[in-house]
Amino acid sequence: MEYTPLIRFEHLKNILIIFKDESVSRTQSLKHRYAWALFLWAILEGHIGPQTVVYEASSGNTAYSEAFMAALIGIKFVTVVPEGTEATKVGNIEGRGGHVIKAPLSQLQVFPLVVGGWYNRVIV
């Protein structure tokens, strides 16, 4: 994982704001570090091996970085995105070697069960 530069913004009196410039990551995405950690964990825990196909239900942002990680380690990546996902996002995912399936939003949480995976919904 590359170093992420910190940019200091000191133009307000008595306030220091520090920004992380995630645009320097290889995918130029905020999701790059998350995808890296997710794939590293999955490999170390034995969930990803040489023949694994990774499936992801996504709005497209995380899938872009995950497609990059999958290509980096030489495995297949398939993402299911909502039908209305922008063509740019789809193109970015496919440009990194991922395969995109568009589905109705109501079907996204069912998809992992169909392919023998699991669905984990995180509510923040």
Distance CA(114)–CA(116), nearest Å, equals 6
Provide the residue ranges of all domains of the chain, joining segments of one domain with +. 30-114
Q: What is the pLDDT of residues 1-32, one digit of tens each?
A: 556 777 788 888 888 888 776 666 666 666 77
Q: What is the pLDDT of residues 56-112, one digit of tens each?
A: 888 777 888 899 899 999 999 998 888 889 999 899 899 989 999 888 877 766 665
Angle between helices 87-95 and 61-73 (to 10 degrees): 10
Quick one: pLDDT at residue 121?
A: 46
pTM beyond cutoff 0.75: no
The two beta strands, 99-103 and 6-12, are unpaired
User: Is 30-114 CATH 3.40.1360.10?
Assistant: no
Quick one: pLDDT at residue 18?
A: 83
